C-alpha cells in the first residue's frame, strides 16, 4: 500500500505543465487559439476545473497541454459535471494561451468529437 503510494507520488511529482491556482492574468486574453487533442485527465475540482490533454503536430510530436476553467459551481450551471469528459475523449479546444508561452490555456470553448459543445459560460 505504502510503496504503491510512494511510486504513484513519484510519478505525480514529475507531472504535467500545470498552474498552481487562480490568476487569470497569466493568460493573453487578446489571443484565442484552437487546438485538437486527446484528453489525458479531467479534474472537476475546486477552485478551478482542469482539462489535461495531448496535442499531436504534423510531424507526430506530442505536446502536453493543460486547460484551466472556472469553478465547478459556475461550470455546473453551464451544464458541466465530473463526467462530461474522460480520458481518451477527442476534443477541439479554444482558449486564451499563457503569456509565458507555456502549454496552458484559459478554456473558452470545448467541443467533443460527437459534437457536444461545452462552454465555460455560466447560465443563471
Partner 1 sequence: MPMLFAICYWLEHTSIGTAVRESTWLFPTIETIHIFGIILLVGSTSILDLRLLGWAFREDSVSKLARRYLPWTWAGFVIQVATGFLLFSSEATKMYDNPSFQIKMLLIVLAGVNAFVFHMLAYRKVATWDDAPVAPLSARCAGCFSILLWFGIVAAGRWIAFI
CB-nearer residue toward partner 1: 22 or 56: 22
How far apart CA 71 and CA 115 sit, in angstroms, is: 24
Distances in whole angstroms, Cα of residue 103 to Cα of each of 67, 71, 122: 9, 21, 25
The only residue of 45, 87, 100, 121 in contact with partner 1, by rule CB under 8 A:
45
Complex with partner 1: residue 13 or 30, whichever CB lies closer: 13
- Residues 63-92: x where in contact with partner 1 by CB under 8 A, - otherwise, as a string: --------xxx--x-----x----------
Query: Least distance to partner 1 from the beta carbon of 60, Å?
Result: 32
Helices and strands (H, E) in the chain, number of each type: 2, 6
14 binds partner 1 (CB under 8 A): no
* Among 43, 56, 33, residue whose Cα is nearest residue 109: 33
* Nearest Cα to Cα of residue 105 among 57, 47, 48, 46: 48
> What does the binding site for partner 1 look like in residue numbers (CB under 8 A)?
2, 5-6, 8-10, 12-13, 20-23, 43-47, 71-73, 76, 82
Amino acid at each position: 500500500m505504502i510503496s504503491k503510494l510512494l511510486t504513484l507520488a513519484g510519478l505525480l511529482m514529475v507531472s504535467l505543465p500545470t498552474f498552481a491556482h487562480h490568476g487569470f492574468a497569466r493568460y493573453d486574453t487578446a489571443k484565442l487559439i484552437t487546438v485538437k487533442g486527446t484528453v489525458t485527465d479531467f479534474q472537476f475540482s475546486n477552485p478551478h476545473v482542469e482539462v489535461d490533454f495531448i496535442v499531436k503536430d504534423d510531424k507526430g510530436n506530442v505536446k502536453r497541454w493543460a486547460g484551466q476553467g472556472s469553478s465547478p459551481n459556475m461550470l455546473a450551471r453551464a451544464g458541466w459535471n465530473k463526467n462530461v469528459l474522460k480520458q481518451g475523449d477527442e476534443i477541439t479546444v479554444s482558449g486564451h494561451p499563457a503569456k509565458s508561452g507555456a502549454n496552458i490555456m484559459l478554456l473558452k470553448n470545448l467541443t467533443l468529437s460527437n459534437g457536444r459543445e461545452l462552454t465555460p459560460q455560466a447560465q443563471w
